Structure 1
Amino acid sequence: MVGSFSLKALAAGLLVAFVGFASSFAIVVEGLKGVGASPQEAASGLMALSVTMGVCAVYLSLKTGMPISIAWSTPGAAFLATVGTLEGGFSAAVGAFLATAVLIVLAGFWKTLGRAISRIPAPIASAMLAGVVLPLCLAPFQAISEFPAVGLSVVAAFLIVARINRLLAMPAAVAAAAIAIAFGSDAAGIAGISLWSDPVIVIPTFTLQAMIGITIPLFIITMASQNITGIAVLNSFGYRPDPGSMFRWTGLFSVFAAPFGGHGVNLAAITAAICAGEDAHPDPKRRYWAAVVAGIAYVALGLTAGAAVAFMSVAPPLLITAVAGLALLGALGGALAAALKRDETREAALVTFLVTASGVTFFGIGGAFWGLLAGAALYLWDTRKELAG
């Protein structure tokens, strides 16, 4: 097995870890802070996610001989950024993370639940995702208005590099933001935060508001936009892992991450294509080493999560949100295209999108749940004849 290792796998794995971490760690931190995490708790959550997804990738790749790439739920983190502080604080959010992880494990054991998620109408699921990420995607352009020089430099770095190499666009934007923060920040602002990550255990509490407002949307987002998509990507490269087993293992590792503030890990989609493609190795049977290398690199990056959070703590919040928004532009475009594709379901998708994006709250439950509910009801009505046939 060790003899099958190659330099191409090493390069592909390191690229996956670098792109995966640099492209979206800001979204994860914003999401955790959005549901009440302190800087130390956010750093702990980022570390827990990085370590668990790294260990999970190493284990599953060696176990199956397939390039099983694992990631944190970026759309899920974007959703958390819109939720707001809950009654019960971050511990209630952690309780919701734990419940979500248990549901994912159950989806792996109980095929009916997995099939039910896969049968959520694609236009409705896509519209909910678009509504979740829209507020963050507006932030780059709001940042240009408030911080013209810095905002323009970050957006320009992203757009220019994207025309050369799409994978490196977000790392370029992060680098531009980091330079701006370094020259415009007060180093004393990070004095109280450890640059190395220290685990912070959060005792979960379980509230009805968090179960409905976080667990249900987070479960649907993670399964529909990450796990099921990740299986499809692997299948497209000729790999056929057992979906139930993949869901069970990612759910179990998410259970381990939750008490330390992690909202969940899942199968990767975009970066999975790097590990599963020819860039990792001409021989498909040897590409699993790329996912193993990526997993080891994620663990190493996770140990320095405190530095990332500390650096972000001295930046203008809108600038950090702008960086996160740039990372989600592709997700927004893809989700809108899928949501509005069919004429007969377009109105239901629009209602889902608008209710979700509005941030409307009833009974302490946020717009993602109500958008899903309203859109699904309209979808069922508009397609009743098609469903009956």
Structure 2
Amino acid sequence: MQIEKVSHKGKTLAKKTKNNGSVSYSAKGIHIGTDVKTGKKVVTTITAKTIKEFDRKLRDRKLEFENNGFTKQKQTQVYRFEDLANIWFENYCLYIQENTINRVGGYIRNYIIPKFGTFRVDKIEPYDIQLWVNELAENAKKAINFDTLDKKKGNAQDFGAIAHKLSDIFDFGITNFGLKVNPAKSIKIPPKPKANKKRIKVLHSEELAIWLAYTSKLTDNQANRRFKLICDTLLETGCRINELLALTIEDLNLETYQMSINKTLVWKNANKKLGTKGKVICKPTPKTDSGNRKIEVSQQILERLKLWYLEVEDRLKKLGLEETNLIFPTVHGNFMCDRNERATLKKYLADAKLPIYGFHLFRHTHASLLLNKGINWKELQVRMGHKSISTTMDLYAELAPKTKIEAVNLLQKELAILTTN
């Protein structure tokens, strides 16, 4: 083999001529650019049969380097919108709380991906998004007055939040994958629809009497005793269902007649990539800092909770399972998801011919009962675990009709006294 040096366009190439007469040209350490991520020079080796082929390969290497964002580092390419949305959501989950992850995950799975998942990322137009958001707004209008557990899925009232998350996904694509524009930036979000009438998720006196009479006649079995205790405790304490299901025996104080609310349960969704299943986890703090509170409760409820705990403890021992300090565990002693109990609540409310709501029904009813008995707003705020008293007043101002009537009566009496004087 014969090797000689050849100068070509300022580069030194090695021309190799084999014994059979075939020729090749090669060069090592050819500079094609600077890596924007590392700041280092990027070089390559090229071998070609002809000078013309050498020049073509060099152009191709430079173009490939440019298309890869001027870096040799591995780049993830996304073409379908579903891929971009999933990568965005994986990153989003790294710094967001579970409840928010569940809500936004619902936006992605139920609305965004079904609509745009199969689209090429760079082919989604503002008009496509505007039509879709308009449709979501129209669906929300139709569903606004049906606020029960039977309402249709796909008619979310927070379509504006869904559109904003779609915009966040496109911004993520611009930052990380070279997407040129965000087509969701220029759309107009329709106003959120308002209900024709005020919807109050509460059992007033007659309805509450029907409910209490209905549950008192339930068959005396373990499942019904647990369900009734859950409902009665929610009604008396006003706590949230997942605060109650996180309750441990240490949270009960039979001397001061208090219940400590200091944690809550949340649902952690499955992750197919990591091979993990969905499960209930305990968050060691309530929904908000102000949610960390102590609630005064009756001796009767405290004793019922303790007796139930002892019954559960005895059952776990007989099954050879580990003891738990949870008051409402699963049959295996784990954190309980409220889904099964919620299905039971829905069935029993329907049987009793009452509105079909979730467990928050008892929280609102609790507030209504206290307001109509004269509790002041500050006391109610603390008891409900609200951060702001304005939140309490905005939520429950409509739940005290008796108080309003009494206020009018007091005003009339005072005016009558002043008139006679």
On whether the aligned pair clears a TM of 0.5, the verdict is: no
User: TM-score, structure 2 length as denominator?
Assistant: 0.22
RCO greater where, 1 or 2, for CA within 8 Å and sep 6 or more?
Answer: 1
Q: Relative to total residues, which structure has the larger strand share, 1 or 2?
A: 2
Q: Relative to total residues, which structure has the larger helix share, 1 or 2?
A: 1
User: TM-score, structure 1 length as denominator?
Assistant: 0.23
